[in-house]
Chains A and B, each alone.
Chain A
């Protein structure tokens, strides 16, 4: 599918503008998530502070894009792929805004974690998980930018890996807490961060689902992964 080639060039321009704004918002959200993770792992209080205080920009963009979409619906009555684009955008930016909120939360916890002298390296346990989640976010935004439903479908399957990772992380944190009860406070903070990362993964999955809706007109939300795999002949390795 392509966005352009309307008889009305201004309509093309309006849709293109909306899409560009979403990509810009996606870029900012991705940066926020990366910085939040970096601040957490590097115990960088300053960066964490910056993340926590930048979220307002994302919120502002969400409102602006929402406004623009409302205007296009009112003035153009989009249909078919144009309609799906607008609907998908409205949903994507909601998830992006929430990812921004999770990044902000990680930022706030990271400020506290960075200030503690002792943290006996517990936060390193998040390294693998955060890599997975950031890659998932990046790929889903990439799939949206290129309207690539095949890539989007692959991302949908990745949620399982993240869930497994969270389970083993929880076990690890429990061990830390049992070893020394003084670890509990920080272990809980790490756990909240893991929780936020998991949510970012969930939102990325949602974005990928909207990409499939946008490209194929099929709603694959709340469909279990085996059904999706069977329908789209996906390999199990993902």
Chain B
């Protein structure tokens, strides 16, 4: 009998996250003959996703669907995950490298006494079928390939680096509801008091196919509205350089770089960003880089596929209009 890999899938804004399909693809690449993939869904109302995830080439879908799990709380979520892991006895557990994945995966690894390889961007097998997992160091200034010395294995997968597993027509995998009793509230030491959904309906930076990013050249918080209009037209996420965040133009949640987030979109549009090495680390694996900057000597032009030397406040609105026409 082969091994079982468990993929922990996530929903967001009423649908399955793209990274969950990509994580299933990563798990498929890890498979040898006889191995199986199961999916896990944890949350409130997540049963609704079971059919779709069950048609991605997985054998079984484990679900913990409970009203107490409407907000993410590691102390409430972890027992649900542990119950599924207990049931599935996986040899490896795959998560997206998301806020939830980054939070639950190390906790599970500690519980299992397991190794974890985080933020994986590619997975190959050597001649013996053993996994070779590649991940960035220094936010992408270097890459290392690692192996597991033993099982179980815990992996988190970086968004936008694996093709999404396809949802096929036809029969879905069997769905198994796993019993779950939320920890009684006196036993629960963590209470989620409030969630302010600033990012509701927006595309997560790390998952976005297009990122419009601003630096010090954007000059103010109001200046970012010019970038947001372009992002709206493109269905893009807005990001920022450390300089723009430090200057208070936008929230640190938007920061791209070695401190901040690493993004690998199809198109990265850098507006008024000079291209400090710590920023380049966070975005230079984007497929196409576009730079708009007044200074023709700005280092960002050295990594850009297409560069426009000019005033972003003039160029970006024109670009917004051109994209509108092209995408109409």
Our verdict on whether A and B bind, yes or no, reads no
Q: Hey, which bits of chain B sit against chain A, CB under 8 A?
A: none
Q: Hey, which bits of chain A sit against chain B, CB under 8 A?
A: none
